[in-house]
A and B are shown apart, each in its own frame.
Chain A
Amino acid sequence: MKKYIYILLLGLLCGCEVIPEDERLIPLPQPEVTEGTHVLIEYTGFRCLNCPNAAAMADDLLATYGKQLVVVSMHPASNPFTQGAYDYTCPEADIYYQFMGGTASTPFPTGNIDLIEQDNDYLTDYLQWPAVLAERMSSSCNTSLSSHAELSQDGKAIYVTTEATAIQEQDCQIVVWLTEDNVIGVQAMPDGSANMEYRHMHMLRASGKEVWGKSVYLSATPAVVNDTITLPDGCQVENCHVIALTLTTQNKQIDNATQIEIAQ
């Protein structure tokens, strides 16, 4: 019996094939990246242990796509991961969060790309962001936009002017967001510790006057939309950016976006 087992093992070992070196790695076809800027919305909270991992993933994606990706970190007040002695929330974050089906029990970290639904769900686990974004990057934009943002003389508001056009005419919303980088504060870390010096990036601080933006009919003729963002208390303007984006009115999907500095 032993003899037969050894012969069988020997046969299995000899069955291995030598694969030529140039066939050992099969390159995957890379998706075509079209023009336009896409938006990654990251829902996060300072009590969420795994959220720093999602933030690192977002940073990797920014390094990959550069100006074709904008990341916005939203801290919705209705999720327990944002509740406690510290407040990084804003009302707008909760509005978008609940629109996307977020609840008090939604697992964090989670996110969304371009307000697109995946399998009838707006919210996507952060491990799926690279795949979803790669697919989204190959879709073309119907609209194009450029914006200018300027701090008011009293330093309490930001005036945003956006000019937009569309290849195929459609009803759109022009949404403007204020985000802040380098907000130093507390964050739960994956090892369970509390990092008191954590650098929160791309934090949503406020939107324009309308949370879902101003309505505009876009065509080949440029349309100009003006909006105002009230600067929240404690915001460091020098760390802030304005993001302007076009939403299709019909399905509230983000078609294109731009991130700009604030002129002072």
Chain B
Amino acid sequence: MMKRFLTFVMALALVGQVNAFVVKVNDEEIPAEGKEITVTESEYDIFTEKTRMGVAGYIYSPAGSLAVTITRSETGLEDEFCCGSQCTSGNQQMNETKNFTVGDAATWYVHYFPAQAGNVTMTYTFSDSTESRTLTVHFNYTAEGIEEVQETQEGAIYDLSGRRTEQVSAGSVYIQNGKKKVTTY
């Protein structure tokens, strides 16, 4: 009898968990009191031709709608926040709130494009109608340069408009093997 009662209670708890508002970052759940992380890795973004730093996660929202409040440590930052199939470019404001319709589950990610070396902090508060979770991200960026090549290597070459090209003129910027390059004179 006691076993059955405990099983029943565990089942109830499981159902309660499935229906709860859950926000994860890097596969870790953000607790009710919030979470703080530091990002130091950066990579070249083929789509924007800029250096990019990123954070990604997952949302489960029984309510199906989500509000995300973004607070930035300074103005003029270039970033974008995407949730499900909705993306919003940063308006370079200090604070803003975006609303998303996510169904009951969606992945989310942040892309930050640092213009110079340094530290910036962004705080994301994910809210549905019942609960919220706060994530603070410190982006710590050290600058990188453009790779210069002395001669053309193997691999298709693209101009900055995304069109494949057979030739590159001296001093021009082109993309090859996913990397931005400049020819030397």
Contacts and interface: CB of A to CB of B under 8 A. Distances in A.
Interface of A: 46-50, 80-81, 83-88, 104-109, 183-186, 188, 194, 196-197, 234
Contacts of B156: 196-197
A234 B163 CA distance: 9
A194 B179 CA distance: 12
A86 B47 contact: yes
A80 B47 contact: no
B169 interface: no
A197 B164 CA distance: 9
A234 B161 contact: yes
Contact of A87 (B48, B49, B101, B162): B162
B164 A194 contact: no
B30 to A, nearest CB: 22
A194 B162 contact: no
Interface of B: 46-49, 80, 84-89, 98, 101, 156, 158, 160-164, 175, 178
Contacts of A104: 88-89
A185 B98 CA distance: 31
Given A88-B162, A186-B162, A197-B156, 4 more contacts: A48-B85, A80-B88, A84-B47, A104-B89
A185 B49 contact: no
B89 A80 contact: yes
| A interface: dominant SS | loop
Contacts of A234: 161, 163
B158 A196 contact: yes
A154 B86 CA distance: 44
A196 B85 CA distance: 21
Nearest to B89: A80
Nearest to B56: A192
B88 A186 contact: no
A173 B159 CA distance: 38
Contacts of B163: 183-185, 234
B178 A196 contact: yes
Contact of A185 (B84, B87, B162): B162
8 contacts: A84-B48, A85-B162, A87-B161, A104-B89, A185-B158, A185-B163, A194-B178, A196-B46
Contact of B164 (A88, A106, A109, A184): A184
B67 to A, nearest CB: 13
A85 B47 CA distance: 6
Contacts of A49: 85
B161 A86 contact: yes
B23 to A, nearest CB: 20
A41 B42 CA distance: 37
5 nearest CB pairs, A to B? A86-B162, A185-B162, A85-B49, A107-B85, A107-B86
A197 B49 CA distance: 17
A109 B98 CA distance: 19
B158 A105 contact: no
B24 to A, nearest CB: 17
Contacts of A84: 47-49
Contact of B89 (A83, A88, A108): A83
Given A87-B161, A87-B162, A194 B47 contact: yes
B88 A47 contact: no
B162 A46 contact: yes
Contacts of B49: 84-85
A46 B47 contact: yes
A5 to B, nearest CB: 13
Given A87-B162, A196-B156, A186 B84 contact: no
Nearest to B47: A84
A190 B119 CA distance: 31
Contacts of B178: 194, 196
